[in-house]
Structure 1
Amino acid sequence: MNNKVLLLVLVALLAVYGVYELASGNESRTFDPEITKFEKDAVTELRFRSKSDSLGPFALKKEGERWTVSRGDRSLPASNDAVAEVLNNLLALRAAYIAAKSSDKWPEYELTEEQATSVQAFAGGKKVADVRIGKFSANPQTQQLKFFVRTGEGDNVYAVEGMAGILLNKSFDDFRDKTALDFDLHNVDELIYGGESQYTVSKTANGWKLDGTEDLDSTRVQNFLMNLHRMSGDEFADDFESKASQLSPFRTLTIRGAGLPEDIVVKCWQDTTREKPFVIQTSQFPESYFASDTLRLYKRIFKPVSEW
């Protein structure tokens, strides 16, 4: 009798184990590590609510081949490269494992709506990706970065390894086009510097001249133009926009050439109360004001001819 009981117990335990293994096997077979799936080229809009931007949600929209970034009634040109990076990182999200299966765990992983960075992608009005990016952690032994993600559907929390989470946690300014100058250097005939230091560098039949008389090394002029013709700023100075019309520029540069659509005018203001005392704006990108110290953007544009 005892042997029969033991046999029945053993059979029951084996049955329970079999059911458990079957359930586990089904779960592992149905677990899809791909958190997002969409056609990158079909995306026409991105919506962000980022932990790195305290000023609120913003959106990016594709208009033709270009993107714009907007918040409220403000809309500005966006960097196509920055948008492409976001789309690539969204598609790169791969779950290493499921960290939790209940929404009760969201606060622990910083994945509530108030805690998380939210990224949504749309293709022609249809939502194709919806993720929340939460807590980050690093393994000091392997130096492997890990972060936690959930989607807009379901309660699961996924652990993802790598840098994609950091690269998706962007602010409004991170998407703005930071281009300050972009022109064909071969179309330039004259550089006219005004303000505190005034001089002209012009192309003549006999080469480049300073103020029409002093010969300049053509190779040095070309090297300078190579650095000048495609230039980006580092830091926006949006707060200066309201002051610009009330102040005279400290220095100016007019880039002129028969092959250019129109003169390009660069204005530089000096404000010693700022941490970076120079603010630069160009007629090519008039909505962008860039802060600069004595190096970087300011130095590259207003470098003395003797240093070319």
Structure 2
Amino acid sequence: MSFKKTLIFLGILLALGGYYYVVEVKMAAKKQAAETADKRLFAIQKDEIATLTLKRADGEITLKKGEKGWQMEQPVSAVTDGAEVDRLLTAFADAQRDKIIAENAEKLDEFGLNAPSLTIAATNAANASFSVSLGKETPTASGFYAKVGDKPQIVSIDNLTQANLNKTAFDLRDKTVLAFDPAQVKKAAFTLPATEAAPAMTVELTQDNSTWSIAAPQSLRADTEKVNAILSQMKSTKIKEFVSETPTNLAEYGLDAPQKSLALTIGDDPAPQTLLIGKRNDEKGGVYAQHTATGNVFLLPSTVDDEFPKALSDLRDKALVRFENNDIQKIEIKTLAETVTLQRESDAWKIVAPAEFPANADRVNVLLNDAKNAKATEFVDAAANQLSFGFDRPNVMLSFWKNGEENPIQLIVGNPNVENTGLYVKTGDGVSLTDPTILSQLKQSAFALRDKAIAPFKADDVASFEIVYPESTLAFEKHGDTWKTDDKTLQGFKVNNLLYDLAALEFAEEPVASASDLSQYGLNAPAATVTLRNAKKEELVTFLFGQQGEKLFVKTAKSDAVYPINAAFLDELPKQGADLAG
């Protein structure tokens, strides 16, 4: 084919393609748009609607758009649910007929349109009116009969359109209980009913830097997580039922003298939002409530009543002490036996009393975590006779100093209660009971907190090692990531576990600083000698293990100190290469 013919052929193809796009695609789109426009019930856009009325036999709902959005004017003046109203406006503006049933129906009762179940009418800014009446369900249950304005035509609309239009006043009302941002709440006041243990009271809380504190009836730490959970519930809870807009008998709802209430002071507004909580209605699964600003009575889910605090203790912080580990610079542990003082130096802890020793940082952090994770199981009346609490001669008294602060956070652990189910503890927030197991966690001696590592090393630095027994020698060497002995491949995790155990080896009793007679410890003829070397064949450390009766001792080749260790450790050393193999 010549080049000229190719160009002609290509031009024909382009022309055909252009024709197809213009005639078929664009015309099809226009045809579809025309058909959709023809099916639409109204020539109005959602944003053009200024008023909307839903009329039924039992009354009308009137909505009007204002500067602050949509408001309900009938059957009651109320704020609307913006999202729900927007869905209704969309459904109205986009409503389409499904089928044309009759062009000019004479008997509207055949379609249920002589007395429509619902008539929705809208007006725009120019006061032009648009309306549709809904009648019976179609025989096939695929939709409903409808009539637009004064047009004689009867059409059908599908079930989804009918459902989206068929809204009640409850659907369209704002069902928010309290509108607020929890982060902006400055004060919260809970009125609590009287109990056998305490009279009725109002608990006042303040929020500062996202932390809640109890200001009245006394200054206490609050359970910030619990308070935030209650506020979040109040923010998200929706009204179940609007009971009465102008109640005349509040006693009927337990709201004449409500035993529970919540008042929130939000932002810079000095006037609090106050919610009163009345009687339960278990048949409806709810509790009656009233917002003082509106005065109407409504029903809330019963969970609001279930989770409302019952006593001051429900709002108190159950943690005995609060701090961040990194903020603590000094710790004192005072028992009847000794007083242990620890001081942080850079990132390390040091025991400075009763004698100076390096401290085990992990164990110190465990102590700090145990202290701040300890919870009060019950708060004890501060006016009670405290002689039996044991605070005059406590089991242990812990003091924690934060960096730059002169006064410590204190935790005093006294006697068990009569039932032996808890220990009395005293903090800056008063007296409480806590789990008895906390005593063994907090009552730490200087020896328990010492760094007892004998010869720490990095397991990854070890490239070979040997274990010498009186009658045999085992040699192990690393090839890449694989450990071998006598050309046998070993299980890497078993070798690593052995090296980690050696690196973490600790003395179990006070060591002998310089032993003159090694035979006392079985070290003149060691039961085992372990030598570790790096990739350059340089010795990292050599451990010598000696037995004397049921006791096991260890020393390193470069030190004269002898350390008593757990007697079971010798049994953990491999006796043959196969012990570390698969």
Taking a change above 3 Å as real, the CA distance of residues 259 and 247 of structure 1, as seen in their structure-2 partners, is closer
Cα distance in 1 between the residues matched to 2:255 and 2:227: 23
Q: What are the within-5 Å matches in structure 2 for residues 40-189 of structure 1?
A: 40-51=182-193, 54-63=199-208, 66-72=211-217, 74-101=218-245, 103-114=247-258, 116-123=259-266, 124-138=268-282, 145-161=285-301, 163-185=303-325
Pairwise mapping of residues 256-271 of structure 1 onto structure 2 (< 5 A)?
Answer: 261=405, 265-270=410-415
SS at match of 2:382: helix
Distance 1:23 1:225, change over 3 A: closer
Q: Kindly state the Cα deviation for residue 185 of structure 1 after the two structures are TM-superposed.
A: 4.2
Counterpart CA distance in 1 for 2:349 and 2:62 is 82
Q: 1:81 to 1:256 in 2, by over 3 A?
A: closer
What SS is found at the alignment partner of 1:166? Answer: helix
Q: Is the 8 A contact 2:187 2:264 kept in 1?
A: yes
What percentage of aligned pairs have identical amino acids? 14
Calculate the TM-score normalised by the size of structure 2. Answer: 0.39
Helix, strand or coil: the match of 1:127? coil
Q: How many residues align?
A: 281
Per mean C-alpha deviation after superposition, the further-off stretch among 224-233 and 256-265 is: 256-265
Q: 1:303 to 1:39 in 2, by over 3 A?
A: same
CA deviation profile, 1:273-294 (whole Å, cap 9, x unmatched): 5775632124xxx233221353
**Using the alignment, how far apart are the partners of 1:206 and 1:164 within structure 2?**
48
Report if aligned partners of 2:331, 2:341 keep a CA contact under 8 Å in 1.
Answer: yes
Q: 1:52 touches 1:169 (CA, 8 Å); kept in 2?
A: no
Q: Which amino acid aligns with 1:88?
A: S
State yes or no: 1:253 paired with 2:291. Answer: no
Q: What SS class does the counterpart of residue 239 from structure 1 fall into? A: coil
Per-residue CA deviations over 1:180-232 (Å, capped at 9, x if unaligned) read 2234546577663413x6585979x9999xx8799999766654543334433
Alignment match, 2:432: 290
**Distance of aligned partners of 1:183 and 1:37 in 2 relative to their CA distance in 1, 3 Å threshold:** closer
RMSD: 4.5
TM superposition score normalised by structure 1 = 0.67
Seen in structure 2, the aligned counterparts of structure 1 residues 34 and 202 have a Cα distance that, compared at 3 Å, is closer
The answer to whether the 8 A contact 1:133-1:147 is kept is yes
Alpha-carbon distance change, 169 to 301 in structure 1, aligned in 2, over 3 angstroms:
same
* Residue of structure 1 equivalent to 2:174: 32
Matches of 1:236 and 1:51, distance apart in 2 = 18
Q: Distance in 2 between matches of 1:212 and 1:128?
A: 58
The superposition leaves residues 121-150 of structure 1 with CA deviations (integer Å, 9 ceiling, x where unpaired) of 1123533421112233556xxxx9532222
Q: Contact 1:92–1:164 (CA<8 Å) still a contact in 2?
A: no
What is the alpha-carbon distance in structure 1 between the residues aligned to residue 373 and residue 425 of structure 2?
Answer: 15
Alpha-carbon contact 2:273-2:293 (below 8 Å) kept = no
In the alignment, residue 57 of structure 1 is paired with which amino acid? T
Q: Alignment partner of 1:45: what SS?
A: strand
SS of residue matched to 2:430: coil
Q: Output one character per residue of 1:148-175: Cα deviation in whole Å (capped at 9) or x when no partner.
A: 2221144532222362332234432222
Structure 1 unmatched runs, 5+: 1-16
In the alignment, the residues of structure 1 paired with residue 444 and residue 433 of structure 2 have an alpha-carbon distance, to the nearest angstrom, of 17
Gaps of 5+ in 2: 1-54, 64-73, 76-167, 450-582
Which one has the largest radius of gyration?
2
* Residue of structure 2 in register with 1:279 after alignment: 424
| CA displacement, residues 75-117 of structure 1 (integer Å, 9 cap, x when unaligned) | 2232332332232122123112223445345334333324x41
Letter of the aligned partner of 2:394 in structure 1? F
Residue 301 of structure 1 is matched in structure 2 by 442
Report the counterpart of residue 21 of structure 1 in structure 2.
Answer: 59
What one-letter code is carried by the residue in structure 2 that aligns with 1:22? E
Amino acid at match of 2:60: L
Give 1:60 shift: 1.6
How far apart are residue 33 of structure 1 and its match?
A: 1.2
Which of 19-28 and 160-169 deviates more?
19-28
The answer to whether the 8 A contact 1:97-1:158 is kept is yes
Residue type at the aligned position of 1:182: R
Q: Secondary structure at the match of 1:126?
A: coil
Q: Work out the CA distance in 1 between the residues paired with 2:401 and 2:186.
A: 37
